[in-house]
């Protein structure tokens, strides 16, 4: 690969309070070699002119579901694993084209196998294009809890396919089984949710003892834990158990946020899937565009005030926010970067929202090679035609994408 020099009109490194103005970035192989006002240009280097753009680290989405779509929620078992793998391949390509160079899958919805792990393998081997992928295996949930119906054993399936687990022994077995099959994180549900029928977001679906056992089993294998959780009591128990990230955390209180700040627990607020549908729930046309089940609308109306209050609490806290969308629960036709706008609408400062998808996301994922533009880091880079600190929606117009030094998209067009 020839060295590449990017001439950027404006550069933001993923951690600073604001962009640094015009800079040049020298890329050799897969990494950033230099980033300065002017760099030493090696012989034969390719020059890319992005002088009309703001250049930032590639975005990181810490919460997607590659093998899920809204239309699957109602009739989950009628879709085969191979169909879900095709959905996953499509999702990976879309994410990368929108500027997401790393994603964490937060719950494989192929219960017959480990499709997300296979997607990771296929992507790393260059068989399908996609961002760097972090796998959390299947979501572990209690009987009667979140996604109970979807995670139940199908009549023709093997016992290991069951992600429903109750009691500390069964929970430990399921955690270890996920790790055995490639889970880099362990994901569980501590409360009910909005997207499936029969559960309620304020239900707490595991005891403190069960959560402690789950986190301890993961920790023995050096696996961090992410938890689907909406109500305050379930969030509090999860924090006490020692999870690394609270997923959604939508109805969190100021007190619990204080505990999270003290313990350094991250929140991934997925507000495209919380405050956005809550605001849309009374508008028939808007709601129809979500393609969401009817029970979800009833729950969104019921908890609208709690969701909006929780978002206010998050915005006024100093908790570490990492970026996540919950894409898959809603269509990949929505550009995940619109989460930035939703966060800013909810009072999160643009710099904090942008860091959530870059420097802070990398920290959550325990990766010191991505998320920041600096010498020695992976050349995962996006560029957009404007300044996201002034106009956050420009993040939805990333027309240049580079992953590991390879140009993936230039002038808005995928590079073959
Ligand atoms: Zn999710």
> Measured in angstroms, how far is the CA atom of residue 312 from the centroid of ligand 1?
21
Mean pLDDT of 376-403: 98
pTM of the model: 0.97
> Does pLDDT of 359 surpass 90?
yes
* 3-class SS of residue 64: strand
More confident residue, 76 or 413: 413
> Measured in angstroms, how far is the CA atom of residue 386 from the centroid of ligand 1?
31
Give, in order, the Cα–Cα distances in Å from 249 to each of 125, 217, 242: 35, 23, 15
- On the 0-12 / 13-18 / 19+ scale of CB atoms within 10 A, 132 is buried
206 Cβ partners below 8 Å, 6+ apart? 142, 145, 188, 190, 214, 234, 237
> Measured in angstroms, how far is the CA atom of residue 248 from the centroid of ligand 1?
8
Protein residues within 5 Å, CB atom, of ion ligand 1? 106, 326
Best CA proximity match to 232, nearest among 259, 253, 246, 262? 253
pLDDT digits (tens, 9 = 90+) for 153-205: 555 555 455 688 999 999 999 999 999 999 999 999 999 999 888 899 999 99
Q: What is the pLDDT of residue 153?
A: 56
> Does pLDDT of 149 surpass 90?
no
Domains identified in the chain and CATH numbers: 4-58+371-414 (2.30.40.10), 59-364 (3.20.20.140)
Give, in order, the Cα–Cα distances in Å from 286 to each of 118, 277, 292, 294, 340: 36, 9, 11, 14, 20
Mean pLDDT, all residues of the chain: 94
92 Cβ partners below 8 Å, 6+ apart? 66, 103, 119, 123, 128, 129, 130, 131, 133
> Measured in angstroms, how far is the CA atom of residue 324 from the centroid of ligand 1?
9
Could you please report the per-residue DSSP string of 279-295? HHTT-HHHHHHHT--HH
Q: What is the pLDDT of residue 154?
A: 58
> Measured in angstroms, how far is the CA atom of residue 205 from the centroid of ligand 1?
16
> Measured in angstroms, how far is the CA atom of residue 140 from the centroid of ligand 1?
12
The Cα 219–Cα 222 span in angstroms is 5
> Measured in angstroms, how far is the CA atom of residue 65 from the centroid of ligand 1?
6
Percent of the chain residues topping a pLDDT of 70 = 97
> Measured in angstroms, how far is the CA atom of residue 55 from the centroid of ligand 1?
29
Mean pLDDT of 96-115: 94
């Amino acid at each position: 690969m020839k060295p590449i020099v990017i001439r950027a009109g404006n550069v933001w490194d993923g951690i600073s309070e604001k962009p640094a103005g015009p800079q040049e970035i020298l890329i050799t192989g897969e990494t950033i070699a230099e980033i300065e006002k002017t760099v030493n240009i090696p012989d034969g280097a390719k020059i890319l002119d992005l002088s009309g753009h703001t250049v930032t680290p590639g975005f990181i989405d810490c919460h997607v579901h590659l093998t899920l779509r809204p239309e699957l929620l109602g009739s989950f078992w009628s879709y085969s694993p191979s169909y879900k793998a095709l959905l996953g391949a499509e999702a990976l390509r879309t994410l990368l084209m929108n500027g997401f160079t790393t994603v964490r899958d937060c719950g494989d919805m192929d219960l017959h196998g480990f499709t997300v792990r296979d997607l990771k393998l296929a992507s790393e081997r260059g068989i399908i294009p996609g961002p760097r992928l972090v796998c959390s295996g299947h979501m572990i949930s209690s009987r009667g809890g979140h996604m109970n119906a979807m995670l139940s054993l199908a009549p023709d399936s093997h016992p290991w396919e069951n992600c429903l687990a109750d009691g500390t022994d069964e929970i430990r077995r399921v955690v270890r089984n996920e790790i055995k099959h490639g889970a880099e994180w362990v994901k569980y549900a501590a409360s009910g949710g909005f997207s499936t029928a029969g559960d309620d977001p304020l239900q707490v679906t595991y005891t403190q003892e069960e959560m402690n056992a789950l986190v301890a089993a993961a920790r023995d294998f050096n696996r961090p834990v992410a938890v689907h959780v909406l109500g305050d009591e379930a969030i509090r128990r999860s924090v006490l158990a020692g999870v690394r990230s609270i997923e959604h955390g939508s109805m969190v209180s100021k007190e619990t946020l204080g505990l999270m700040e003290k313990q350094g627990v991250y929140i991934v607020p997925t507000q495209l899937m919380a405050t956005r549908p809550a605001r849309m729930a009374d508008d028939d046309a808007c709601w129809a565009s979500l393609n969401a089940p009817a029970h979800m609308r009833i729950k969104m109306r019921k908890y609208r005030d709690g969701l909006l209050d929780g978002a206010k609490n998050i915005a006024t806290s100093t908790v570490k926010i990492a970026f996540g969308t919950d894409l898959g629960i809603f269509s990949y036709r929505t550009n995940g970067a619109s989460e930035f706008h939703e966060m800013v609408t909810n009072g999160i400062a643009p710099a904090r929202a942008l860091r959530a998808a870059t420097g802070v996301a990398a920290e959550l994922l325990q990766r010191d090679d991505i998320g920041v533009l600096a010498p020695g880091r992976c050349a995962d880079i996006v560029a957009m035609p404007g300044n996201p600190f002034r106009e956050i929606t420009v993040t939805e117009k990333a027309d240049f994408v580079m992953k590991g030094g390879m140009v993936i998209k230039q002038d808005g067009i995928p590079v073959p």
